Amino acid sequence: MNKTELIDAIASDADISKVAAKKALESFTSNVTKTLQAGGRISLIGFGTFSVSERSAREGINPQTKQKIQIAAKKVAKFKAGSELSDSLN
């Protein structure tokens, strides 16, 4: 499912216009992004938790040249599925 298909599904399920569904989805993604940039986390009970994790610097290997390279430390977005979501997949 891509963004357009998700907007269509939200509009259909909530019985709202596609414009309103698009605004709602953009608001959700914007607020998740802002919260994670500030170092916070978002917990949606039963669905999952969005958080920020820090990866430390490490040494890697360039697969083309086989030379060792340094990979810089960075922050990454993380999602941990909630129990209801996990249970629904099995």
pTM summary value: 0.79
30 has pLDDT over 90: yes
pLDDT of residue 90: 85
Query: DSSP E strands: which ranges in 13-87?
Result: 42-44, 48-55, 58-61, 68-71, 74-81
- 34-86 per-position pLDDT tens digit: 999 999 999 999 999 999 999 999 999 999 999 999 999 999 999 999 999 99
8 has pLDDT over 90: yes
